[in-house]
Structure 1
């Protein structure tokens, strides 16, 4: 029995995407303050202030994941479990193939092709909303990996070790 691979959030994978909205929020905030100081229309200043608050809130929402140290994804002998997408075990015998979406170290997505439809917990999770809308790929489970503390190639190697029957594409 191989040891399970427990994967957590990456601090840099969460902090760096938060920098953009925070910078934009600060810029809108300074714009709102300058508008107040110059006597601009209060309606326009309010809109700019609300945009600043929205950008800052988005930045802090994204950044808070960097401090979440709980296990997000588990790969073991039984299958895989993504706590961000339904937190249900998908047995390896239900997985036909896996593909690293963009290849190399910068890959952002693992796509698992299942032999049937995914469990309802995954199918109706928020991270799988796109698959529900598109007419194809109903048996594909998408796992975002760019915010995790392991690289895509390491996950592929773990899948090869844990489930040698699963075809690895790309």
Structure 2
């Protein structure tokens, strides 16, 4: 295949809105707990209870910051090309298209949230035991790789179209 005939790889990064909006909940809850702790201090409440409320506020705010930090990470997270796909969040291992039987777009509340790849065998250990593929540790679906896509800068259908382009033999399931 000539260099001109090869399609350009699809490189995906974090979507700032896909990371900021999920962080708003923990920030709001942390603010409510923080306000409650301040009210407790102002009213002379028991220091032990106020400390617990302040700790809850700190944990919620830290969780919000942890989630939101991804909005500022502009590195490539997922690559699809003529060789296969690679997800830096789940082992960063190339899965060749020859090992992929099918792909399915799993819809969530606000659109597609997950792309599920059915493989001809078990996924590599780096993917299987990554925190991003926690579903893979379940006793069912051991040959499925779950790719979370709601936090990426792409629509689910665009990913399915890319799979069709790079690997026409892969069955697209609904």
**Closer/same/farther in 2, CA of residues 103 and 153 from structure 1, 3 Å limit:** farther
Q: What is the rounded CA distance, in whole Å, between the counterparts of 2:65 and 2:110 in structure 1?
A: 26
SS of residue in 1 equivalent to 2:122: coil
Q: Secondary structure at the match of 1:74?
A: strand
Deviation of 1:131 (Å): 2.0
Structure 1 runs, 4 residues or longer, greater than 4 Å off:
none
Question: What does the per-residue CA deviation read over 1:90-118, in whole Å, with 9 as the maximum and x for residues that have no partner?
Answer: 00000000000117971100000000000
Q: 2:39 maps to which residue?
A: 34
Which secondary structure does the structure 2 equivalent of 1:108 belong to? strand
Q: How many residues get paired?
A: 169
Assess if the C-alpha contact under 8 Å between 1:7 and 1:149 holds in 2.
yes
Structure 2 Cα separation of the partners of residues 36 and 72 of structure 1? 44
Structure 2 CA distance for aligned equivalents of residues 58 and 147 of structure 1:
16
Q: Which residue number in structure 2 is paired with residue 76 of structure 1?
A: 81
What are the within-5 Å matches in structure 2 for residues 103-114 of structure 1? 106-114=111-119
Q: Which runs of 5+ in 2 are unaligned?
A: 1-5
Gaps of at least 5 residues in structure 1 are: none
* Conserved 8 A contact 1:115-1:139: yes
Distance 2:64 2:150 in 1: 17
**8 Å contact from structure 1 (residues 105, 151) kept in 2:** no
Shift of 1:129: 2.2
Q: Give the drift of 1:130.
A: 2.9
Inter-partner Cα distance in structure 1 for 2:98 and 2:109? 26
Residue of 123, 146, 149 corresponding to 2:150: 146
**Are residues 161 and 70 of structure 1, via their aligned partners in 2, closer, same or farther at CA, if it must alter by over 3 Å?**
same
Correspondence list, 1:56-135, <5 A:
56-102=61-107, 106-132=111-137, 134-135=138-139
| 1:17-32 → structure 2 map (5 Å cutoff) | 17-32=22-37
